């Protein structure tokens, strides 16, 4: 089954899907291998791999290791055109529709398209929206774009609708990795009420309760990253998965 259909299937069967973001700069080798097995055992539904800025971590090695250590899909979450790899199950083909920087809306995509075609990667068109989250995030700084103000759900609704009408398959409401505050529940609610495509929410989610609130407000996929970089938190993986699956 292709990854997009797999995710829709998970959403239908479990009410929502739980994806875990792997930053190859932060985890590798044995530790990565045990982490992904623990995620699979706890009930996670897949992995996003990538980041706005990769310093030294190797995306290809991380994906190979994930594929070797578990059966869950490895989906590239590209911060740049060079973050593409044939062995991945899919790539979130993200267009930064909350920004006004053409390079991140369509420019990089043109460079990446022939590479994706050659690699025969499944591209999942995703409207990516940065939401103000307290402090400046790496995604915001690197993309050089203004996030949508937290108290302006109507801007988020109009932007997400535009993404849907442009034919995108998912809308990703992103607080940014390590965000001080996650995307406001009111905004998740307003956007998921307005659009028909599944909403992904990530950035700054640090408790199962917070993850659950996003689901209760209409999110269909929740992403966590930073929180599990601390091995002491791994025992909470199951609690997160259970909070997300209805």
- Tokens of residue 219, six digits: 């999110």
CB 208 within 8 A of CB 189: no
Residue 183 has what DSSP assignment? P
- Check: CB of residue 207 under 8 Å from CB of residue 3: no
- The residue number whose beta carbon is nearest to ligand 1GP equals 202
Give the residue with the Cβ less far from ligand 1GP, 40 or 140: 140
Q: How far is CA 29 from the centre of its chain?
A: 22
Single out the residue of 224, 243, 244, 245 in contact with ligand 1GP (rule: CB under 6 A). Answer: 224
Number of residues assigned to the chain: 246
Q: Shortest Cβ distance from residue 118 to ligand 1GP (Å)? A: 26
Contacts of 216 (CB under 8 A, 6+ apart): 185
Give strand pairing partners of 174. Answer: 130, 202
Instruction: Compare residues 143 and 224 and give the one whose CB is closer to ligand 1GP.
Output: 224
**Mask of contacts with ligand 1GP, 161-190, x by CB under 6 A?**
-------------x--xxx-----------
Q: Who contacts 84 (Cβ-Cβ below 8 Å, separation ≥6)?
A: 76, 78, 91, 112, 115, 116, 119, 121
47 forms beta bridges with 20, 74
Secondary structure tally for the chain: helices H, strands E? 10, 8
Q: What mask of x and - would describe binding to ligand 1GP in positions 3 to 42, judged by CB under 6 A?
A: ------------------x---------------------
Q: Which is nearer to ligand 1GP, 43 or 178 (CB)?
A: 178
Residue closer to ligand 1GP by CB (options 109, 206) is 206
Q: Could you tell me which stretch among 27-35, 148-156, 188-196, 203-211 binds ligand 1GP (CB under 6 A)?
A: 203-211
Please name every residue paired with 76 in a beta bridge, in sequence order, or none if there are none: 49, 91
Among residues 18, 35, 128, 227, which is the contact residue for ligand 1GP, using CB under 6 A? 227
Q: Under the criterion CB under 6 A, does residue 225 sit at the interface with ligand 1GP? A: yes
Tell me which residues touch ligand 1GP (CB under 6 A). Answer: 21, 174, 177-179, 202-205, 223-227
């Amino acid at each position: 089954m292709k990854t997009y259909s797999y995710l829709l299937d998970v959403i239908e069967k479990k009410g929502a899907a739980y994806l875990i973001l792997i930053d190859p700069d932060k985890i590798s080798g044995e530790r990565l291998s045990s982490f992904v097995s623990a995620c699979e055992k706890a009930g996670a539904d897949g992995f996003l791999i990538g980041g706005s800025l990769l310093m030294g971590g190797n995306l290809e090695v991380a994906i190979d290791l994930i594929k070797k250590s578990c059966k869950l899909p490895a989906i590239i979450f590209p911060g740049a055109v060079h973050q593409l790899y044939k062995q991945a199950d899919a790539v979130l083909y993200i267009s930064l529709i909350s920004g006004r920087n053409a390079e991140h809306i369509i420019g990089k995509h043109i460079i990446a398209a022939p590479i994706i075609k050659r690699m025969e990667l499944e591209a999942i068109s995703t409207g990516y929206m940065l939401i103000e989250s307290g402090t400046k995030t790496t995604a915001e700084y690197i993309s050089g774009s203004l996030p949508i103000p937290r108290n302006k759900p109507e801007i988020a609704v109009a932007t997400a609708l535009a993404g849907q009408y442009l034919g995108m398959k998912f809308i990703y409401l992103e607080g940014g990795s390590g965000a001080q505050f996650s995307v406001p529940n009111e905004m998740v609610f307003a956007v998921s009420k307005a659009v028909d495509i599944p909403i992904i929410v990530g950035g700054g989610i640090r408790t199962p309760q917070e993850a659950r609130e996003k689901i209760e407000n209409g999110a269909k996929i929740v992403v966590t990253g930073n929180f599990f970089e601390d091995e002491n938190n791994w025992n909470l993986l199951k609690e997160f998965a259970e909070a997300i699956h209805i």
